[in-house]
A and B are shown apart, each in its own frame.
Chain A
Amino acid sequence: MNKPFTFDFRNTISKNRLKGLWLMMVDYRLPYLGATLALAVSATSKTLTYLLLGYFADLVAGNAEPINGNLSRSFFWIALGFVGLSLFQGGFSFISGRLAAYTAEGIARRLRDFLFDHIQRLNFSYHGNTAVGDLIERVTSDVDAVRRFFSEQAIGVGRIVLIFFINFAALLNLNAELAWISVVVIPFMLLMSLWFFKRVTKRYEKYQEQGTILSTTLQENLTGVRVVKAFAKQEYEKTKFEGDNWEKFKRGRHLLLMHSLFWPLSDLILGAQMLFGFVYAATMTINGEITIGDYLTYVGLVAWLIWPIRNLGRLIVQTSTGLVSYGRLMDIVKEIREPLNDGKIEPDGDLRGDIVFENVSFAYPDEKANGTRVLTDISFNCKAGAAVALLGSTGSGKTSLVNLLPRFYDYTEGSIRMDGVELSDYSRKYMRAQTGIVEQEPFLFSRSIRENITYGVGRDVSDAEVEEAARAASVHTVVTEFPDGYGTLVGEKGVTLSGGQKQRIAIARTLLKNPHILILDDSTSSVDTETEAEIRTALNNLMQNRTTFIIAHRIQSVMVADLILVLDGGQIVQAGTHEELLEQEDGMYREIYEIQTRIDDELEKEIEGIA
C-alpha cells in the first residue's frame, strides 16, 4: 500500500506562499476541485429544499397549481423531493469531505515522507548547526498546520463563500430588492469578526504563554522535590505556584471576556438584520408583491446565508498560520542535499586501505567558521592494515581529521589518496560502506539489541552471525542476561545500557559490517577497569586486518599503533612510533608520557608514606 516516493517538494519553493501551497497540490488539484464542486452541489441541494418548501406552501395556500391537478399526489412527490434533496445534500457533502480529507492527508503524508528523507540527506554542517527540537517542531506542527490549511481552512473559506453566492443568487432570483437589503450588514460583520479574531489570537497566545510558565514552575517543583523538602519550602512553593496559577486563571478570564462580548454582539447584529428582512418580506407578502411561498423560502435562505459569515473571520485569521508554516517548512526544503552517488569511479570490490595524506587542510564550510582552518598541512602515509593513532587535546583536530575519510566533510586543500585514487573520486556512499566507526558514546536506536547490531549492515544476517559478532565484541554474556536476550528493547521501553555496553554493541555492529577502514573514538578512560579490559579485547578483535584510526587521550591506548600522530592546533607536531617519539626528548609526546608515569610514582609514594 506504500506509494512509491516520487513527489519532490523542492519544486514547491515560492516567494508567494499561496502559490507555494498551490504547487504542493500537484496530483491533488482535481480531487480538491472535486471537493469544491461537491460542496457547491450540496449547497445547491439545500437551497433547492427551501425553494421546494416555498412551492409546498404556495400549494397549500392555493397560489400554485398542483402536479397533474392532484393535490395529495403532489404532496407525496414533494415529500419524496425533500428526502431526495437531502440525500443529494448529504451525499455530496460527504463526497466533498472525503475528497478534502484525501487531499489534505495525502499531501501531509508525502510531505512527511519527503521531509524525513530530505533531512537525513542534508550534510553534516547543517545538522551540526540545527537544534533537533526545532527541526522536530517544524516537521510535526508545521506539517499539521499545512494539513489543516487544506482540510479545514481553504475549504472552509470556500464553503462560506460558495454558500453565500449560491443563496444570494437564489435571493436575487426571488426578489432583487429583498436580496440587497438582506446583506447590508455583512461587510461590517466580516470586518468585525476579522478584528475580533486577530485580537483573540493575541490574547490566546498570552494565555498559552502563562500555561508554559505554569508548566515550568510545576516541572521544576516536581523534579526538585528533594530540594523543596530538604529546605522545607513547601509553603513557599505553594505561594509561588498559586501566583502563577492565579495568573493563568486571570488570563483565561481576560480571553473569555472577548468571546463573551463577540458572540452576543454578533448575534445581536445578525439577528437585527434578519428581523429587518423578515418584516420587510412580510410587508411585501401582505402587499402581494411576493407569495407566501416566497416568504418561506426567503426566511430559510437568509438564515443560512447570514450565520456562517461570523466564522469567516476566524478561518481567514487561521489561514495565516498555514502560510507561516509553509515558510518554516521551506526553510528546510531549500537546504542543499549531500550527493551520495557522485563518485567518478565505483570499484566493484573493497578497498585495501593504503592511505596517503598530502598537505591536507580543512575549514568548516559554514558561515560561522569564517574560513578558519581546523586542519593545516596534514601529511602522512599509512599502509593497508596499519593502525594510526591520533593524540592531542580537545580541539586539536583529531575528529575533524577522521571525519574526512567517510567524506562527512570534504577537505578544502591538498590531497588524500586512497589506494592511489583521489578520495573525492569515490562516492560518499562507497566510502561510507567501506568505513566503520565506533564512537565514544555510540547512538543506539530504540529497537531490539539484535536490530541495533544488524543496523545498516544491509543484508540478511543469521542469528548465529549476530551471536558470533556479539561474542567477539564481549557483549554476548551481557545480552543473554537480559529478559528477552537479543530481542530486548534498548531505551525507554527496554533496558538502559551503560556506556561500556553501548560501545561493545557498536563494536559488534561494526564487526558485522566488516569495513576495511576503521575509526575508533577511544573512550576507555570513562569506564571502570574491568570493562576497559573487555572493551580492549573486543577492539583488538575488531582491528585485525583493517586500517585503523584511533583517537586517544592516553599513552596506553596509542603505544601499540604503527604510527602515532601528535596533533596540536590542527597541525601534526610529531609523528612516529612509540619508541621513536620517546627518543625526542623535548617533544610533546615524551612530556605527556612522563606526566602519566609520574602519577603511578606519586601514588606509590603516598601509600608508602602511610605504611
Chain B
Amino acid sequence: MSEEKIELEEEEYTSQLTMPVFKRILGLLKPHKMWVVGFFIAIAATSALDGVFTFINKNIIDQGIIPGDVERMHELAKIYGSFIIVQAVMVFGFVYLAGVLGERIQYDLRKLMFEHLQDLSLSFYSQTSVGRLMSRMTSDTGRVADLMTWGLLDVTWAVTNITTSVIFMAIINWRLALIVFAIIPVLVVVGIKFRQRILVEFRASRRANSKITGAYNENISGVRIVKALGREKENLHEFQGLTGEMYRSSYKAAWLSALFLPIVQIIAAVALGAIVWYGGIQSQTGLLTIGGIYAFVSYLTFMLWPIQDIARVYAEMQHSIASAERIFTLVDTPPDVHNLKGAVDAKTLLGEIEFDHVDFYYEERKPVLQDFTLKVQAGEMIALVGPTGGGKSTIVNLLCRFYEPKRGSVSINGKDYTNYTLESIHERIGIVLQTPHLFSGTIMDNIRYGNLTASEKEVLEASKLAGAHPFIETLSKGYAEKVGEGGDLLSTGQKQLISLARAVLSQPELFIMDEATSSVDTLTESLIQQGMEHLMRGRTSFVVAHRLSTIRRADRILVIEDGKISEMGSHTELLRERGHYYRLYTQQFRQDLGKKYGQDGLVPRTA
C-alpha cells in the first residue's frame, strides 16, 4: 500500500485524551523542561502584551487626548514603545523555542523508534509493512510534535489573550465584561463543531484525491492495454466520476472554511452591538469613557483569532493523540526473539548443528514446518530444493535465529542456541539473499558493511575472492562508484556479487545463500559460482538452490515439500531414486540448458 493511503487510513482514527497517554506525552517534554518553561513565558507575555497595548491606547485616549495632556500622552507612548521592544524579544523567544523544541521532539521520537526497531524481530517486520513504519516515523512524529509545540502554544496564546482581555474589560466596566463573558463559551463550542465538520469534508477530499492518483497511475502504467482495447472513453467517464467526487468534497471543505470566520464574527458582532448600545447610554452617566468603548470594541473584534485557534487545535488534537498512541504501541512492542537471561556468547558456530523435532508456523493453525529433524556436520554444504512455499526459507530463518522454533529446538554443538546471545550468532553468519539488498553509497561502503574495520586492501581481497573485482574495475569510478538507492544502478547479478564480497569480508563460520531465480548473464553466473566456492570452503553452508551446478556440488541435497524433508541424499543417490528430485532436476536441466543454448543460438549473427 502506498504511504499516502496508509496515512489517509490512519487519519480516520481519533482518540480521546486519557490520563496515561497524556502523562506519556508530557513525559516527552521532560528532558527539555527549560525550553518549555521558556516558550510558555514568552508566548504568555506576548499574548498578555497584546491586551496591554489596547489598554495603553485606552489610556492615551482617556488620560492624554481628552484632557489634552500632551505630557501624559508622550509618557504613555514611551511605555507603549518599550513594550513593543519587549514583545519583539518575546516573539523571537517563542518562535525559536517552540520551533526548535518541535524539531527536537521529532528528533527524539525518531531516535526512540528507530533504535527500538533495530531490536524488533523479523516476525514484527513480516506483520507490519514498511510503509506503515515510515508513516509512523514521519507523519505521526510530525503530528505529535505539532501538538506539543504549536498546538500548546496556540492554546496558551489564546487562553492568555482571552483572560487578559476579560480582566482588562472587567477593570474598565464589569457589567459589559459579563456580556462578553457570556458569549465566549458559545463561540468556542460553535467554533469547535464547525472545525470538526470542515475536517470531515477535508478528509473526504483527501480520499478522493488518493483515488484520483491511483486512477492516473493505473491508466498511465496500463496505457498500452487501454489503447489496445480502445477503452479511452469509458476510462474518461469513470475518471470524471472521481474528479466529480473530489470537486464536491473539496469545494465543500473550502466554502465551509470560508464560512467559519464570518459566523464567529457575526455572533461577536451581536455582542458588540449590545455593548455599543448599552455602553453609549452608560457613557452619558459617566460610567464608560470613550477610551473604554474603544477598548471593548478592540478586545471583542480581536477575540475571533484566539477562538479560531482553540477550535482548530481541539479538532486536530484527537488525531494527534491517535498518532501518539501508535508511536507508543510501536515502542512498547517487545521483540519476539531476544537474549535470554544468562545467555552466553557462542564461541563458534563450526560444529554440529541440529534441528530437533522442530515445529514452526508464522500464523497459528497454518503450520509451515512440522516435526523437522536434521543433523548437519561442521563444514557440510547443504542444498535445499523444492517448490515455493515448501518451507526452505523458513529453515534458513530458523537457522539464522530470525525466528525461534515453536516446538523442538535448534542446537549448536549440542547446546540449544537460545542459550547463546543473538549478537554472537549473527556475527558468525554470512548471508546472501535472493534479491540482494544494498545500501545507497559507494561499492566500497557496501562491501565494508561486512566488516566495518576492514582496510581497503582487505575489501579488495574479499572482492577478488568473491569474483566481484573484475566488473567493479570496469566501472568509471571503480570502488567509489555509487550504487544508487537500494543498489538500483546495478544489475541483480552485480548486486549479488557485491553481497557475496560483503559476506566474504565478514568471514562467517556459517554461510547462507538464497540463490536468485532471475536470470543472470553467463559470465556473471560463473563468477558468482566461483565466489560461492571460495566462501564455502571450510564453512558450514546452507544454500536454497536453483542452479544445477550448485546443487550438484552439495554434500547433501534436501528436497523440502510441505514442511518436511521428502528426499535427502547426494545428487547421484537422489537421481537414481527417480523420485521428486529426479523430476525437479530434469525440468531444471531443460530450462537451464534451454536458456543457455537459446541465448547462444539466437545471438544475432549479421553484425
Contacts and interface: CB of A to CB of B under 8 A. Distances in A.
Contacts of B204: none
Q: Tell me what chain A mostly uses at the interface: helix, strand, loop, or mixed.
A: helix
A97 B255 contact: yes
A469 B251 CA distance: 44
Interface string B579-607: 00010001101110110011111111111
Given A80-B273, A233-B449, A340 B602 contact: no
B147 interface: no
A220 B485 contact: yes
A589 B104 CA distance: 70
A86 B266 contact: yes
B437 interface: yes
Contacts of B499: 227
A216 B582 CA distance: 45
Chain B contact patch, size range: 35 or more
Contact of A127 (B215, B220, B290): B220
A305 B227 CA distance: 57
10 contacts: A83-B270, A227-B431, A232-B422, A249-B106, A256-B103, A264-B89, A271-B84, A446-B218, A456-B228, A596-B601
A206 interface: no
A8 interface: no
Contacts of A79: 273-274, 276-277, 280
A456 B290 contact: no
Which 4 A-B residue pairings sit nearest by Cβ, starting from the closest? A97-B258, A456-B229, A90-B262, A86-B269
A57 to B, nearest CB: 5
Contacts of B294: 53, 57, 296, 299
Interface stretch (A111-119, A195-203, A350-358, A418-426): A111-119
A119 B219 CA distance: 9
Nearest to A126: B223
Interface residues of A, number: 154
B128 to A, nearest CB: 9
Interface string B110-130: 110011011100100100001
B111 A242 contact: yes
Contacts of B229: 432, 455-457, 509, 513
Nearest to B119: A234
Contacts of B200: none
A286 interface: yes
A101 B247 CA distance: 10
Q: Tell me what chain B mostly uses at the interface: helix, strand, loop, or mixed.
A: helix
B372 interface: no
Interface stretch (B73-81, B175-183, B408-416, B534-542): B73-81
Given A57-B290, A218-B114, A265-B88, A260 B99 contact: yes
A252 B99 CA distance: 8
Given A113-B239, A265-B88, A455-B229, A82 B65 contact: no
A568 B134 contact: no
Nearest to B1: A492
Interface string A118-148: 0111001001000010011001100000000
Nearest to B102: A252
Given A116-B216, A231-B449, 13 more contacts: A90-B269, A227-B437, A252-B106, A265-B88, A296-B61, A395-B604, A443-B224, A455-B229, A456-B229, A457-B229, A528-B587, A571-B606, A602-B589
A246 B107 contact: yes
A436 B284 CA distance: 92
Q: Which of A105, A216, A568: most chain B Cβ within 10 A? A: A105
A90 B266 contact: yes
Given A105-B250, A286-B70, A340-B232, A264 B587 contact: no
A564 to B, nearest CB: 14
A569 B220 contact: no
A212 B176 CA distance: 55
Nearest to A87: B266
B324 interface: no
Interface in B75-103: 77, 80-81, 84-85, 87-93, 95-96, 99-100, 102-103
B91 A263 contact: yes
A455 B231 contact: yes
B605 to A, nearest CB: 7
B367 interface: no
Contacts of A279: 73-74, 77
